[in-house]
Amino acid sequence: MRYGYFDEKNREYVITNPATPSPWANYLGSPEYGAIISNNAGGYSFVKSGAAGRIIRYRFNSVPADQPGRYIYLKDREDGDFWSASWAPVCKSLGEPAELAKLAKYRSECRHGTAYTEIVSEYRGVKTKTLYYVPRNSTHEVWRLEVTNESDRPRELSVTGYVEFTNEPFYEQDQVNLQYTLYITRTYFKGDHILQRVNDNEENPDKERFFGVAGAEVSAYCGDRDKFVGAYRGYSNPAAMTDGMNGDLNYCGNSCGALQCDITLQPGETRELVFLLGRKPQAEASKLIASYREAGRVDDELAELKKFWHGKLDNLQVKTPDEKFNNMVNVWNAYQCFITFIWSRAASFIYCGQRNGYGYRDTVQDIQGIVHLAPEMARDRLIFMLSAQVSNGAGLPLVKYDHQAGREDTPDQISYVRETGHPSYRADDALWLFPAVKKYIDESGELGFLGQKVLFADVEEEASVYEHLKRAIKFSMDNLGAHGMPAGLHADWNDCLRLGKSGESTFVLFQFYYALRILRDYAEIERDTDYAAELDGIITDVLGKINGLCWDGDRWIRGYREDGAVIGRRADPEASMWLNPQSWGVISGAAAGERGVLSMDSVYRELNTPHGTMVMYPPYHRHAFEGALMVCFNKGAKENAGIFTHTQGWAILAESLLGRGDRAFEYWREVCPAYMNDEADRRVMEPYVYGQFIEGRDSPFAGRAHNHWLTGAASTIMVGTVEGILGLRPNPDGIVIDPSPPSDWTEWSMVKKLRGKTLNVRVTNRGGGTQGVQSVTLNGRKLDGKFIPDSMLEAENDILLQM
Ligand code: GLC
């Protein structure tokens, strides 16, 4: 069944049936003032930290689902009937099943756009349109309600905006430490807003919260949640709707903000009300609310938001024969990449905000998903992550949001371990810097970035980016296992795989090989001749190890445990086949030939399913070893033979590099959310975003997706798509375009902005090839080969590529 459709022109997903199989979310604002909202207005807001700066409540895993939220209740004052401007929480009949159809039917439409959400409702001749957003660079949120009388008689309505405040900004404390939190907050009514004070903040008005309204007089209010809802009732039938509100305020209970405005609407008349929410000193809040009485402010702010986001997305727009592909590349995958880049793993309906910092590998990967759209943003974050590299070359496993470069403790100190819960370095963290720095330099052309000075995390020592990369290699070389491969340390990419401190991972060995090759090129640019020669020696040695120690007939093994046992052998009863070493064999360039083909064929044969490629197979059950932590997950879930979507991007890229466009596209399509739009009941999650994983073959619910929005899947799939399928590969001197499309794409076009220039690319592929460019014509001139030099580019360029 389907619940909505893509409106590509407006860059929105439109939900027409609000009874979605799970709350389908969108992101507003940024973690400075973050708001997450579902298609039924459920969700929460926070300042700076989802875990420690929560201002409104959301009960994770709640029953009923997805409560509370940013609610607007409407009531017909003539007959007392009430409903909500989003279908939930009141949930009026949608007209099904048949016996209910005689009741008035409620219609709802939710449009999730780029950093705004608009929910339309129609019920008994009253139409509402509620726009939710956080203005650019602001720390408050806006809900603009337009209410229209579409009936042919005057209507007496009351409109009530509602939020449930937290009593205490630490979300966990707020939920459980009731002997304390119930007694620390009060609410006040201030004419056009409810003010909530948390006593701790008496001296600190910055932390006062407010919920206000502009555009109508307040007729009634309530600041006490339990009075609003009423004993033994819920948000679907709060006492405030049946009995009215009597100006109750919170003292020793739970706070809320509820503001009722009574309005009369003539037939055809529309009224606009603006509700505002935030954490600001009261005086500032009052001014802010007053400023929303100005006509046009909301429209201007919305236009600014769209301009910002659409401007970023415009940096790559494609028009291929596959609409869903276009939609993902042009809008949703791109937008999700920005959300994961900005929000990291901070807050969703699954993550409650407790991961209070950036995971090193996660963020360095996230950078790669936006670099083609916003190199300047990538640059800033790269410098930040380089400044979280320890002087021994490793990455800090968790980089605090308030990271102080030069002054941080490291996993070598118990203080860091206590504070972050990360006991050790990981084998892979700093190795992610190589593809990220390379992609940034290739996109921006800024070779000088290698010379940019950046502090290390733990010492007040500045070093060039180039030196930082050298340290990363040194870290791996200083930590080798028994076979001379980089040691496993705490873990590699796979958090659930502990090979032991001196165990060795094939995946990391491939990453290491890839890193060495990148650095070899940079050593040449930096004229670091001795070091280049040293790298040549290491590269040869590593290649020997790869081929001599890691190959098993038709696959790369997963690695060696500390005690010498091999993981991922062909003959193993469980976990005999692992995806990442196979895809990274190809990506790293180490297995470009026959072994690359053989291993990727084994992936297809043993790991592929209609819903994507499993991260390994068969799942651990009876043969897990001590470090195989994934055995705790149900078979087919997460790292235990789930389709870990994150890794699908690498499979797409590897197949594209092998020139097997049909298979690359097949992998792309299997996990594509848009392709599951009509099977939303099976997939459950939003059909416009990737989730962390999809249940694999051994689950009774194969194909069900989990952990929406904040996942590395966004960036790896974007990279697989843009660099792989579309073959857009800039370098500091120009760009190579070398697509690997499915064979039925005979013609398509792309508009790419590169360093301020516009490339209008048309590709023709009459022969149905899946790799191989026959000719490139730039502005009417035929080029030799597929490289397009910067020096020949004009402001606007017509490029014709024949495959
Ligand atoms: C999660 C983690 C990521 C890890 C992956 C596989 O996505 O955030 O760091 O690589 O799981 O274990």
Q: pLDDT tens, 5-25?
A: 999 999 999 999 999 999 999
Q: Is 363 in the pocket of ligand 1 (CB under 6 A)?
A: no
Residue positions counted in the chain: 803
Q: pLDDT tens, 424-451?
A: 999 999 999 999 999 999 999 999 999 9
Catalytic annotation on 66? Answer: no
User: How far does the centroid of ligand 1 lie from the alpha carbon of residue 682, in Å?
Assistant: 24
The residue nearest atom 10 of ligand 1, judged by CA position, is 493
Q: pLDDT tens, 490-531?
A: 899 999 999 999 999 999 999 999 999 999 999 999 999 999
Q: Given its phi and psi angles, is residue 134 left (phi above 0), alpha (psi -120 to 50 degrees) or beta?
A: beta
Provide the 10 A C-beta neighbour count for residue 450. Answer: 17
Task: Please tell me which residue in 495, 678, 790, 798 is annotated as part of the active site.
Answer: 495
Q: pLDDT tens, 56-113?
A: 999 999 999 999 999 999 999 999 999 999 999 999 999 866 555 566 789 999 999 9
Q: pLDDT tens, 636-659?
A: 999 999 999 999 999 999 999 999
- When mean pLDDT is compared across 79-88, 102-111, 172-181, 207-216, the lowest value belongs to 102-111
Q: What is the average per-residue pLDDT within 375-396?
A: 98
Longest dimension (CA), the chain: 87
Bridge-partner residues for 748, per DSSP? 763
Give me the pLDDT at residue 442, please: 98
Dig out the tokens for 611 from the structure.
């819903």
3-class SS letters over 751-772? EEEECCEEEEEEEECCCCCCCC
Q: pLDDT tens, 252-283?
A: 999 999 999 999 999 999 999 999 999 999 99
Q: Is 645 in the pocket of ligand 1 (CB under 6 A)?
A: no
Q: Phi, psi at residue 370, to the nearest 5°?
A: -115, -5
Write down the residue that tokens 């990538």 correspond to: 378
Q: Is 426 in the pocket of ligand 1 (CB under 6 A)?
A: no
Q: Is 362 in the pocket of ligand 1 (CB under 6 A)?
A: yes
User: How far does the centroid of ligand 1 lie from the alpha carbon of residue 431, in Å?
Assistant: 15
| Mean pLDDT of the residues in the chain | 96
Residue 387's pLDDT band, with cuts at 50, 70 and 90, is very high
Percent of the chain scoring above 90 in pLDDT: 94
Instruction: Choose which residue among 343, 631, 646 to substitute to test ligand 1 binding: the one with the highest number of ligand atoms within 8 A of its C-beta.
Output: 646
User: How far does the centroid of ligand 1 lie from the alpha carbon of residue 479, in Å?
Assistant: 22
Residue 205's pLDDT band, with cuts at 50, 70 and 90, is confident
Q: Is 639 in the pocket of ligand 1 (CB under 6 A)?
A: yes
pLDDT beyond 70 at 202: no
Give me the pLDDT at residue 99, please: 58
User: How far does the centroid of ligand 1 lie from the alpha carbon of residue 707, in Å?
Assistant: 12
Q: Phi, psi at residue 247, to the nearest 5°?
A: 75, 30
- Nearest by Cα to 471 from 383, 363, 390: 390
Give me the pLDDT at residue 103, please: 67
Residue 353's pLDDT band, with cuts at 50, 70 and 90, is confident
Q: pLDDT tens, 140-164?
A: 999 999 999 999 999 999 999 999 9
Provide the 10 A C-beta neighbour count for residue 303. Answer: 11
Write down the residue that tokens 């932590």 correspond to: 629
pLDDT beyond 90 at 355: no
